[in-house]
Amino acid sequence: MRPFQPSVREIPGLSDIRPIGSGGMAEVYWARQARPKRPVAVKVLNEAACQGPGCDYAERFERECRTALSLQHPNLVAAYKTGQIHGRPYLIMEYVDGLSADQKVHLDGPLPVDEALAVFSQIADALRYMHEQGYVHRDIKPSNILLTSDGRAKLSDFGLAKTHHDPTITLAGGVLGTPHYLAPEQIDGRGQVDRRADIYSLGLTLYFLLVGEPPFKGNSIPVVLTRQLTDRVKFPAHWTGETQKRLARLIERMAAKDPAARYQDLAETQADLDWVRGEKPSPLQTAVFRARANNKVRRGRALKKSFPALQLPEDRRRILHLKAGRVLFYEDDVADAVYWLIDGRVEVLRGGRRLAVIAEPRKVLGEMAIIKGTLRSATLRAITACEVLRIGADELTIFLTKNPDLMQAILTDISERIELTSSRLLRAENVCQSVRQNLLLVAERLEQGVVSAADAVWLLRGLALEDPDATQA
């Protein structure tokens, strides 16, 4: 949380109000409650988040209040009361005097196994209770786990929680949650977000407690989101002991990309936790959770069929055989080669979103970054087992000279991209013109006193989000 200039000085029934910190939509204060006598934390929706009708933040805050008040568990931060001060809703909660798990690890390093499992077990208990009450938390992460001085762990922040039957609250144009701990189905929107998403996030949180960093990292949010979709969890090389091997198996299954391959509920997870601790002889014998590609690449024949007159370099290692799920290159990688698809299907991902599926033999891949001298603008991943031809950037000119038909394919591809970009630019120009006219109209109405400043802000937000595709043109 960030320090801030307090905007709340008094709340009925509370005294000695002091600022703790602020987040994206709320300010948090410490206070002393008169009846009953106890220290409390008060979360107050900030003024900017309250502006404009239909505000996403206000809806999320109201939902958080309802959820928190309906849940009672020793490992959940307790909620006591809600109210409003100067039109701003607030929530009075239990004050937890301690660090978050995130702060603890950053200060002291990875937790010892016993301590990490104690925290994990308590949060799993709380989360299992939430699931039994019909809620999905959807934002499990180390910074939402508070640790008391006497060793208790408490789960906080129910701003993204929803019931199994409620529609998902989302911010326009984005995914909600923390990129390093989001389940794949929360990123790509292709599956239902249920309790298995919480199990995925809890698995990555356990990894963080034990290792000291999240399993999927990147130099930008889009790269992290893409790695959540494409990469398997990799464990430290020194994890060679029996307990560490069992922990790796537990986390790997919790963090399976396919929800059907994960533990289906926390009762299953906790049963295997007993196995990790050595309290049970064997893990659950359920569905295999490690996906394996069973479709073999038709080597040689596919290459001849797709490139009958191809003049290949002598080094046959340039022919790459990819298993399903293998990543060829990542967004923001340095571009060092161009690829041609020989056989199979690949997908293009950007920021965790699928942009295209390519299944056309001879299709050139990754050439634009080489031509423009830029970093990769997207991630390329095999959907099925694939065979691709790799030509390094330093030998591309010689290779194309020997294979003019492939040079023609590149030129055709660039021509198609230019045509698509022109179409998008035209559409963007039309949208910009429309937004400009609406901005002038809002300014005129504001000057005439027809709309208030708060309404103008709300209208401007609506205009900014009017056409998400236009920003990608």
Tell me the H-state helices in 298-403: 301-306, 367-372, 396-402
- CB neighbour list of residue 200: distance below 8 Å, 6 or more residues apart: 183, 184, 254, 255, 256, 259, 262
- CB neighbour list of residue 300: distance below 8 Å, 6 or more residues apart: none
Q: Is the pLDDT of residue 297 over 50?
A: no
Round the average pLDDT of the chain to a whole number and report it. Answer: 81
Tell me which of 206 and 35 has the higher pLDDT. Answer: 206
Under CATH, to which class is 301-402 assigned?
A: mainly beta
pLDDT in tens, 308-355: 555 555 456 678 899 888 889 988 888 999 998 888 999 998 877 888
Alpha-carbon gap, residue 26 to 4, rounded angstroms: 11
Alpha-carbon gap, residue 137 to 176, rounded angstroms: 12
Tell me which of 229 and 305 has the higher pLDDT. Answer: 229
pLDDT in tens, 436-451: 777 787 777 777 777 6
The pLDDT of 190-197, averaged and rounded, is 85
Which amino acid, 7? S
Q: Is the pLDDT of residue 30 over 70?
A: yes
pLDDT of residue 470: 36
Cα–Cα separations (whole angstroms), residue 469 to 153, 173, 320: 43, 10, 35
pLDDT of residue 469: 41
Q: Is the pLDDT of residue 64 over 90?
A: no
Alpha-carbon gap, residue 52 to 177, rounded angstroms: 23
Alpha-carbon gap, residue 6 to 174, rounded angstroms: 29
* Confidence grade of residue 290 (pLDDT, cut at 50, 70, 90): very low
* Confidence grade of residue 399 (pLDDT, cut at 50, 70, 90): confident
Domain 98-276 has CATH 1.10.510.10: yes
pLDDT in tens, 138-171: 899 999 999 998 889 999 887 666 665 444 434 3
Alpha-carbon gap, residue 387 to 41, rounded angstroms: 58
pLDDT in tens, 214-248: 999 988 888 888 889 888 899 999 999 999 999 99
The partner residues of 354 in beta bridges, in order of sequence, read 349
* Confidence grade of residue 24 (pLDDT, cut at 50, 70, 90): low
Q: Is the pLDDT of residue 6 over 80?
A: no
Range name among 158-167, 271-280, 386-395 with the lowest pLDDT average: 158-167
The pLDDT of 400-416, averaged and rounded, is 77
List the domain boundaries for the chain: 14-94, 98-276, 301-402, 417-472
Instruction: Provide the sign of the torsion angle of the four alpha carbons 440, 443, 445, 447, taken in this order.
Output: negative
Phi, psi of 6 (to 5 degrees): -60, 140
pLDDT of residue 473: 33
User: Which residue among 56, 108, 114, 139 is the active-site one?
Assistant: 139
Q: Tell me which fold the domain 14-94 belongs to.
A: Phosphorylase Kinase; domain 1 (3.30.200)
* Residue 139 a catalytic site member: yes
* Confidence grade of residue 368 (pLDDT, cut at 50, 70, 90): confident
pLDDT of residue 119: 97
The pLDDT of 412-420, averaged and rounded, is 76
Alpha-carbon gap, residue 131 to 151, rounded angstroms: 24
Quick one: which H or E segment has residue 274? helix 266-276
Q: Are strands 38-45 and 353-358 parallel, antiparallel or unpaired?
A: unpaired
